Amino acid sequence: MMTPTGKQQVTVLGSTGSIGVNTLDVLARHPERFAVHALTAQRSVAALRDQCLAHAPRYAVMTDEGAAEELARELTRAGSATTVLGGAAALDEVAADPAVAVVMASIVGAAGLPATLAAARAGKRVLLANKEALVMAGALFMSAVRDAGALLLPIDSEHNAIFQCLPVDASARPGLAGVERILLTASGGPFRTWDTARIAAATPDQACAHPNWSMGRKISVDSATLMNKGLELAEACWLFGVGPERVTIVVHPQSVIHSLVQYRDGSVLAQLGNPDMRTPIAYGLGWPERLAAGVMPLDLFETARLDFEAPDEERFPCLRIAREAIAAGGTTMAACNAANEVAVAGFLDGAIGFMDIPAVIENTLARVKRVEPESLAVVEAADDEARLVAAELLRSRGSRPLAQSEP
C-alpha cells in the first residue's frame, strides 16, 4: 500500500485524459506523499511515454496490444525501467494490485467499468471520475464497495461538492442527517441560450467548446446535450442513497457553485470554487485533509454575480430520457449510457446531427430488453445489445433524420 518511504502508491486509470493529466499535476505537487504505481491509456503512445518518463511508474498499461508493443520499444530506448503491460485484463491487475492504496478511475465510458469494479473489490480508495461505473452497475458497484470496505470518493465536481457539503457521522463518513434535498448544478453547456433550430445545426467543434470547463470531446458533447446531468443524477442517487425525487438539477452558468445541499432547517450549504478539476482531485487524494492543488482562489468581486435557472428538457431532451431510464430501473440506464456513447461517437464522426443523439438513444431504449442487473455479465450483455441497436440505427438512417420514438 505504501513504499518503504511511506508514500501512498497511486494507479491512474486513463492517465492521458483530462482528469488523468490533472491528477498527475496534483500528485507532482506532493512527491513526499504519493508515488505513481501505474498509468494506463488505450492507444496514446506518445502521451503515455512522456508521462512514464516524467513520473516513473512501475507499470504502464495500454489496452491496445499493438500500442503496448510500441510503447515498450520507446521506453526501452529511453532507458525507462517501467514495465509495459498490454490488454484490458492488465487494467484490472494494476487496479487491484496489493501494492496500490489509491486508484483514480478516470477512463471515459463503459470501458472503465471492469477495472473500477476490480479496484472496489480489492478494497482500495477509489477516486471515481468514471460515472459509468454507477450508471451501468450501481447496485453491483456499491455492494462491492461495502463488502470489501473500499473508500469511494466522488471526483466529478458536482458530486465532490455534495460530498463536501454533507455532514460527517461518527464513523468519519458523510451522512444524510437532516438533508432535505440535493441541488445538482449544471453549467447549461455551450448551447444554453441557443434556440432549437440553431442547436439542431450545431457542429462537433461547437458542441465541444464548453464555456467553463476543459474536458475531452465525448464529455463535452454530453455537457452540450445535458446527458451528463442525466448520468450524474443516476450517480448521485447511488452515491448518496437518495431517490431521484430528492435531487434537483439547477442550471448555474458561471460554474462557480459546484452543487448544494438543502437541509430541513432551511439552511443551504454550497461548495464554491474556480472551475478547475484539480480541486476535487486534491480533495479525493487527501481526504479528510485538504491538499494544495495549484488552483487560484475564487475572487468573489470578479465573479460579481451568480445566476440560476431550471433546465429546459424540450430543447435538451437527453435529460428527460435519462430521468425516465432511471425510473425504469434494471439495465435501462446501462442501455441508455451505451446508446449515448454510440450516438455521440456518430455525431463526432459527422454521421448524424446533434439532435439525432437523443433520437438514437430513445429509439434504442424502445427496442432493447430490460432485465435485472444480477451480475456484471448481465450488465455487459445489456450494454452490448444497446450498442448493436444504436449502431444499426446510425447505419440505417442514411440522410433521413431520426424522429424520436420512431417505430
Q: Do 313 and 165 have their domain in common?
A: yes
Do the domain assignments include residue 345? yes
Handedness of CA 373, 379, 385, 390 (dihedral sign): positive
Q: Containing domain of residue 259, as a range?
A: 157-320
Q: Do 37 and 167 have their domain in common?
A: no
Domain boundary among 275, 291, 320: 320
Do the domain assignments include residue 179? yes
Nearest to 3 by CA among 33, 26, 39: 33
Domain boundary among 271, 301, 320: 320
pLDDT value, residue 3: 59
Residue ranges for the binding site for 1-deoxy-D-xylulose 5-phosphate? 131, 157-158, 187, 210, 223, 228-229, 232
In terms of C-beta density within 10 A (0-12 exposed, 13-18 middle, 19 or more buried), how is residue 40 classed? buried
Q: Do 110 and 51 have their domain in common?
A: yes
Q: Do 161 and 150 have their domain in common?
A: no
Q: Do 267 and 381 have their domain in common?
A: no
Q: Do 53 and 148 have their domain in common?
A: yes
Q: Which residues contact 140 (CB under 8 A, 6 or more apart)?
A: 117, 373, 375, 376, 379
pLDDT value, residue 6: 85
Local structure of residue 103 (DSSP, 8 states) = E
β-strands 83-86, 59-62 pairing: parallel
Handedness of CA 132, 135, 140, 143 (dihedral sign): positive
Taking the C-alpha atoms of residue 284 and residue 106, their distance in angstroms, rounded to an integer, is: 13
Do the domain assignments include residue 404? no
pLDDT value, residue 199: 97
Q: Do 217 and 296 have their domain in common?
A: yes
pLDDT tens, the chain, 407 aa long = 665 668 999 999 999 999 999 999 999 999 999 999 999 999 999 999 999 999 999 999 999 999 999 999 999 999 999 999 999 999 999 999 999 999 999 998 888 999 999 999 999 999 999 888 899 999 999 999 999 999 999 999 999 999 999 987 644 567 788 999 999 999 999 999 999 999 999 999 999 998 877 778 998 999 999 999 999 999 999 999 999 999 999 999 999 999 999 999 999 999 999 999 999 999 999 999 999 999 999 999 999 899 999 999 999 999 999 999 999 999 999 999 999 999 999 999 999 999 999 999 999 999 999 999 999 999 999 999 999 999 999 988 654 444 444 43
Q: Do 121 and 179 have their domain in common?
A: no
Measured at the alpha carbon of residue 339, what is the angle toward residues 333 and 344, in degrees to the nearest 5? 125
User: Is there a contact between 135 and 231 (Cβ–Cβ < 8 Å)?
Assistant: yes
Conformational region of residue 167, where left means phi above 0, alpha means psi within -120 to 50, and beta covers everything else: beta
pLDDT value, residue 168: 79
Do the domain assignments include residue 140? yes
- Put simply, whether the predicted model's pTM sits higher than 0.75 gets the answer yes
Do the domain assignments include residue 178? yes
Cell representation of residue 163: 460530498
In single-letter form, the type of residue at position 282 comes to A
Q: Do 146 and 170 have their domain in common?
A: no
Q: Give the bridge partners for 151, in sequence order.
A: 125
Q: Residue 168 — φ and ψ, nearest 5°?
A: -110, 125
Q: Do 16 and 112 have their domain in common?
A: yes
33 by DSSP, 3-state: which? coil
pLDDT value, residue 176: 86
Tally the domains of the chain.
Answer: 3
Residue ranges for the binding site for Mn(2+)? 156, 158, 232
Residue ranges for the binding site for NADPH? 16-19, 43, 130, 132, 216
- Maximal C-alpha separation, the chain: 64
Domain boundary among 269, 298, 320: 320
Q: Do 73 and 204 have their domain in common?
A: no
Taking the C-alpha atoms of residue 38 and residue 15, their distance in angstroms, rounded to an integer, is: 9
Cell representation of residue 384: 452490448
Q: Which residues contact 16 (CB under 8 A, 6 or more apart)?
A: 41, 44, 47, 48, 51
Q: What is the CATH classification number for the domain harbouring 357?
A: 1.10.1740.10
Q: Do 172 and 149 have their domain in common?
A: no
| 211 CB-side CA count, 13 A | 14
In terms of C-beta density within 10 A (0-12 exposed, 13-18 middle, 19 or more buried), how is residue 292 classed? exposed
Residue ranges for the binding site? 16-19, 43, 130-132, 156-158, 187, 210, 216, 223, 228-229, 232
pLDDT value, residue 396: 82
